[in-house]
Amino acid sequence: MSTGKRLDVVGKPRRRVDSRGKVLGQLRFADDLSLPRMLHCKLLRSPHPHARIESIDVSRAEKHPGVHLVLTGKDFPIPFGIMPVAQDEHALAPERVRFVGDPVAAVIAKDEQTAGEALGLIEVKYQPLPTIATPEEALANAETRIHDYGEQGNIHRNQAYEFGDVEEALAGSDHVFEDTFFYEGNTHLPMEQQASLAAVEGDGKLTLSSSTQNPHYLHRQLARVLQMPASQIRVIATPNGGGFGGKCDPANHELVVSKAALILGRPVKICLTREEVFYQHRGRHPVLMRFRTGVTKDGRLTGMHLQTLLDGGGYGSHGPASTFYTGVLTPVTYELPRFKFEACRVFTNKPPCGPKRGHGTPQPRFGQEVQLDKIAEKLGLDPAEMRLGMVTKADALTANWLKIGSTGLAECIRKVVEMSGWKEKHRKLPEGRGVGLACSAYMCGAGVSIYWNKMPHSGVQLLLDRSGQVSVLCGATEIGQGSDDVLAAIVAETLGIGTGDVRVHTGDTGLTPIDLGSYSSRVTVMMGNAALQAAGRVREQIVAAAAESLEILPGRVLLSQGRVFSADDSSKTMSFAEAVTLAESKFGTLGAVGSYAPPRQPGRYKGSGVGPSPAYSFSACVVETEVDPATGWITVPKIWVAHDIGRAINPVHARGQVIGGVYMGLGEALMEEQVFRRLPAKLSGALVHRIPSMLEYKSLTSLDMPEVEVALVEEPDPNCPFGAKEAGQGPLLPVMPAVANAIFDAVGVRIDELPITPDKVLAALQLKAEGKPPRIGPGSFPNVPYAKAMFVLPPWEGGDGNESTPQRAIAGAAGT
């Protein structure tokens, strides 16, 4: 069905199904909800980066007029966490705080003002503990453990894999390039501050409406922390006013208001302040990286050894996955015969890092793509041609056993080269102006769930009735990315109706089949495939009933534009509603379910579950920059991007996703950073977020954002609904390295760390003027106690996807 047929809905520019409510101001985000007798909650947060809680006295707060309830850590004995291997958080800290902003108590009062006043009446006695501010300090102070679990000391996760003998590959290379890069942390900064409303319904069950990307995982954690059967809890994901990964983790405030509503029997709402959103964080990990990359003299990769060090902050969050992601997707873009990665995540006394748009991959992609630019420069090759010569091929396997499905990367590169006038510009623009190119790839959904199970990743239910109404239900969440519209479009296309004829219900664990959530760019593919199956099943019933009535073969029935008709005789036709009535008469109440789980992947080694995806999207980007050599001031007049989306379900909004990704990438390249301030140690142990505000956390305004020219490359992927791949994350990834490469083309300096600011450019220009290497970036890489690498043979060296013994070990053993 997904090929051949002329498409009525898919691929056509369309008003999104949810946009009318948005432009009218009618759509209700979490903080727009209110209920009779509703109370308001505020959280008291730790002013210490690392301390033991000695005592909490809430008696004055409890007596404050208008206060209904005060909760502390003792009310939440059960820990939680998004990942089964990192259940290290408490809704309110019971005995230890691990960053400034860690919640320790909650007040529920008649209004926010009163709750805020009462917070000031809570007396907490803290015993400060030594502060760990950086990964280097975390490694050097193993005895000051932030958590008493993890690999050792303050190392949370250590992951190491070697796919083929990399040292041998490097030794046999014409050149080996060694580079160190640093990618500063940054945060999502959704326009909507997280909010939640909990209420006990008339049936005695708990309902939590919350700005969450992942209602299903939140549902599980609520049941765990509240020690209630999950069947007694309903989580409604309200439309998210932007997520970008920041609303994936179950959050303290969600658990607190739920508990409070259960105790008080009244609705309880909370909305975080902007400062609190910075503390909730779960954003981009700061990552230090070292690449050792072997190439042939004509610029083909021979092997790569990648080491990463992640600053995880105070809790686990998605950390185990984030750590993997700093390695596993590296081989997806270019043919890489051998690959080794060592990754280490440490705890520090800062808000926890987690998944932000691109989750763990923008950092190594930045390093890899800048290093490729250096390689091309050194070898005298055109960076675009060099990349074109080694893009991975469709249906190939990578060294780490990921299966590439469709790929339009080569076409993406050709497109941006053409659109940007690359050949006339690169190394040809006057001093101070330059262009840079970079590429990337991203998953279309994580191949395995966050917790182990054999159930579908996405379920869709369709309900139809004699009115012609089509209701579609799915647990997927609309976070602004347009998933409700994708869902409506796939159902509408299959049933030959319009998206306006479909009623969409999503993100409600009490009503909709489970979908794992809006993360890892999984929704279009997984929800879409489930929807395709459900709609296909209903379509069969409609076709059977219509064929009988029209007296034609079912195979000759077409559904299009609200009509059901014969492919051969245009007089044999009925409306869609008439056909539904016939089907309901013939089969009884109409409905169908569909579900989807990703195909099994060829990798068999332990840890091979992170990285596989039903499909990969690909992007290429060219950035133009102007750099003032006197000040280092950077201007970006234009960006060109090509994204292999497989097929655009709605091209207007696909383009919007691509530009939005480019926007966020440019912000990360030039200014966004989640950074901290430490006071002089003699005077204070404080470690505070430097700039927890919309004003000082710099995000691009309309005057800072250039025009972006977008090419959507449509290379339909057979694993994807109508061939459609993701667009929400991939297009961000090539932007940062393209900016760095453009700055090199403009003024000949290398800025090997993000963000790239005028002061760094100017410092590098001064080095250049002094005849020193014109580079700003990390000077050294610390001595990280990485784990022993698991050895896996690449597919082309006779491996079977399992762990094996390296030849060098066998040879070594034979020699003794």
Partner 1 sequence: MMRLPWFDYRAPKSIEEAAKILAWEGTGAMLLAGGTDLLPNMKRRHQMPGTLVGLRNIEDLKRVSNGNGLRLGAGLTLTELLAVRGLRDRYRGLAQAAAQVATPLLRNMGTLGGNLCLDTRCTYYNQNYEWRQAINFCMKKDGDVCWVATASRRCLAVSSTDTAPALIALGARVKLVSAAGAREVALDDLYNNDGIDYLKRKPDEILTEILLPKPAGWKSTYWKLRRRGSFDFPLLGVGAAVKTAGDGTVEEARLVLGAVSSHPLVIKTDSLLGKKLTDDAIAEIGETAESRAKPMDNTDMDLRWRKHVVADFVGYALRELRGDDMGATRLRIAKQLV
Partner 2 sequence: MSGNGKIERRRNVQLRLNLNGEEAEVSFAPYKTLLEVLREDLGLTGTKHGCELGECGACTVLVDGTPVLSCLQLAVECEGRSVETIEGLARGNALHPLQAAFADHGGSQCGYCTPGVIMTAKALLGEEPNPSRDRIREATSGNLCRCTGYNQIVESIEVAAADLRTPGK
Q: Which residues bind partner 1 (CB under 8 A)?
A: 45, 47-48, 100, 112-113, 116, 271, 273-275, 626, 628, 630-633, 635, 671, 677, 679-680, 683-684, 686, 688-693, 695-696, 698, 700-704, 757-759, 762
DSSP-H helix ranges across 57-211: 59-63, 112-119, 135-140, 166-171
CB of 500 to partner 2, least distance (A): 12
The residue among 60, 67, 2, 10 whose CA lies nearest residue 40 is 67
Question: Please, which of residues 159-188 interact with partner 2 by CB under 8 A?
Answer: 188
Q: How far apart are CA 484 and CA 384, in angstroms?
A: 37
Q: Is 611 exposed, middle or buried (0-12, 13-18, 19+ CB in 10 A)?
A: buried
Contact 325/359 with Cβ under 8 angstroms?
yes
Spatial CA neighbour of 387 closest among 363, 364, 371: 371
Nearest residue (CB) to partner 2, 2 versus 481 = 481
* Nearer CB in complex with partner 2: 429/700: 700
Q: Quick one: which of 691, 705, 767, 789 contacts partner 2 (CB under 8 A)?
A: 705
* Closer Cβ to partner 1, 54 or 174, answer by number: 54
694 binds partner 2, rule: CB under 8 A: yes
Contacts of 412 (CB under 8 A, 6+ apart): 439, 618, 619, 620, 642, 643, 644, 711, 713
Nearest in space to 342 (alpha carbons), one of 755, 754, 782, 737: 782
**At its nearest, how many Å lie between partner 2 and the CB of residue 681?**
28
Q: How far is CA 418 from CA 646, 649, 741, in A?
A: 20, 25, 18
- Is there a contact between 723 and 615 (Cβ–Cβ < 8 Å)? no
- Give the C-alpha distances (Å, rounded to integers) separating 345 from 145, 283, 312: 14, 14, 6
Most distant pair of Cα atoms in the chain: their distance: 90
Residue 247 one-letter amino acid: K
CA–CA distance, 603 with 606 (Å, rounded to integer): 9
Using N-to-C axis directions, what is the helix angle for 215-226 and 252-264, rounded to 10°? Answer: 50
- Select the binding partner of residue 633 from partner 2, partner 1, none (C-beta < 5 to 8 A, by kind): partner 1
Residue with structure tokens 């319009």? 498
β-strand 339-346 against 563-566: which pairing, if any? unpaired
Minimal distance, residue 698 CB to partner 1, in Å: 5
Both structure tokens of 473: 């239900």
Closest approach, Cβ 311 to partner 2, in A, equals 23
Closer by beta carbon to partner 2, 67 or else 579: 67
Report the site for partner 2 in 240-269 (rule: CB under 8 A): 240-244
Give 273 or 471: the residue with its C-beta nearer to partner 2. 273
- Output 534 or 727, the one with its CB closest to partner 2: 727
- Nearest distance from C-beta of residue 16 to partner 2, angstroms: 7
Sign of the torsion formed by the C-alpha atoms of 349, 363, 371 and 346: positive
Give the count of beta carbons closer than 10 Å to the beta carbon of residue 573.
15
Report the nearest approach of partner 2 to the CB of residue 661 (Å). Answer: 8
The answer to whether 107 contacts partner 2 (rule: CB under 8 A) is no
Considering only residues 630, 695, 813, 814, which one is a binding residue for partner 2 as defined by CB under 8 A? 695
Taken in order 318, 319, 324, 327, is the CA torsion positive or negative? Answer: positive
**Pick from 141, 180, 273, 560: which binds partner 2 (CB under 8 A)?**
273
Question: At its nearest, how many Å lie between partner 1 and the CB of residue 631?
Answer: 5
Distance CA 361, CA 370 (A): 14
The entry of partner 2, partner 1, none that residue 467 binds, CB within 5 to 8 Å by partner kind: none
Q: State the binding partner of 662 from partner 1, partner 2, none, CB within 5 to 8 A by kind.
A: partner 2
Size of the site for partner 2 (CB under 8 A): 64
Number of Cβ atoms within 10 Å of the Cβ of 6? 6
Question: Which member of 693, 766, 802, 805 binds partner 2 (CB under 8 A)?
Answer: 693
Confirm or reject binding of residue 424 to partner 2 (CB under 8 A). Answer: no
Nearer to partner 1, 388 or 688 (CB): 688
From the list partner 1, partner 2, none, pick the one residue 241 interacts with, judged by a Cβ distance below 5 to 8 Å according to partner type: partner 2
112 versus 151: smaller Cβ distance to partner 1 = 112
Helix, strand and coil content of the chain, in percent to the nearest 5, comes to 30, 25, 45
From the list partner 1, partner 2, none, pick the one residue 628 interacts with, judged by a Cβ distance below 5 to 8 Å according to partner type. partner 1
Contact code string over 111-130 relative to partner 2, x by CB under 8 A: --x--xx-xxx---------
Binding mask 15-34 for partner 2 (x = CB under 8 A): xx-xxxxxxxxxxxx-xx-x
Closer Cβ to partner 2, 23 or 813, answer by number:
23
Among partner 1, partner 2, none, what does residue 204 contact (CB within 5–8 Å per kind)?
A: none
Chosen from partner 1, partner 2, none, partner binding at 626 (C-beta under 5 to 8 Å by type): partner 1
Q: Which option in partner 1, partner 2, none does residue 47 bind, with CB closer than 5 to 8 A by kind?
A: partner 1
User: How far is Cα 195 from Cα 265, in angstroms, rounded to an integer?
Assistant: 19
State which residue, 517 or 661, has the beta carbon closest to partner 2.
Answer: 661
Choosing from 5, 74, 125, 274, the residue that interacts with partner 2 (CB under 8 A) is 274
Contact yes or no for 659/710 (Cβ under 8 A): yes
Residue 101 or 651 having the CB closest to partner 1: 101
- Residue 190 found at the interface with partner 2 (CB under 8 A): yes
Smallest distance from partner 2 to CB 732, Å? 10
Under 8 Å CB-to-CB from 316, ≥6 apart: which residues? Answer: 81, 83, 85, 86, 87, 88, 89, 147, 156, 352
Query: Which of partner 2, partner 1, none lies near 268, with the C-beta cut-off 5 to 8 A by kind?
Result: none
Among partner 1, partner 2, none, partner that 479 touches (CB below 5 to 8 angstroms by kind): partner 2
Q: What minimum distance in Å lies between the beta carbon of 100 and partner 1?
A: 5
Helix (H) or strand (E) holding 687: strand 687-689
Choose among 553, 582, 524: nearest CA to 716: 524
**Cβ neighbourhood burial of 34 (10 Å; 0-12, 13-18, 19+):** exposed
Q: Is 784 in the site for partner 2 (CB under 8 A)?
A: no
Strand (E) or helix (H) holding 790: strand 790-792
671 binds, among partner 1, partner 2, none (CB under 5 to 8 A by kind): partner 1
| Near partner 2 in 462-521, by CB under 8 A | 479-482
Nearer to partner 2, 192 or 624 (CB): 192
Output 161 or 279, the one with its CB closest to partner 1: 279
DSSP assignment letter at 232: G
Residues within window 631-690 making contact with partner 2, judged by CB under 8 A: 652-653, 655-657, 659-664
User: What is d(CA 389, CA 676) in angstroms, rounded to the nearest whole number?
Assistant: 42
Region near partner 2 per CB under 8 A, out of 10-18, 226-234, 428-436, 491-499? 10-18
Residue closer to partner 1 by CB (options 176, 675) is 675
CB of 656 to partner 2, least distance (A): 4
Distance, in Å, from the CA atom of 479 to the CA atom of 214, rounded to the nearest integer, reads 10
Cβ(46)–Cβ(93) below 8 Å: yes
Q: Report in angstroms how near the CB of residue 15 gets to partner 2 at its nearest.
A: 5
Distance, C-alpha 596 to centroid of its chain: 20
Which chain residues interact with partner 2 by CB under 8 A? 13, 15-16, 18-29, 31-32, 34, 113, 116-117, 119-121, 188-193, 239-244, 273-274, 479-482, 652-653, 655-657, 659-664, 693-695, 699-703, 705, 707-708
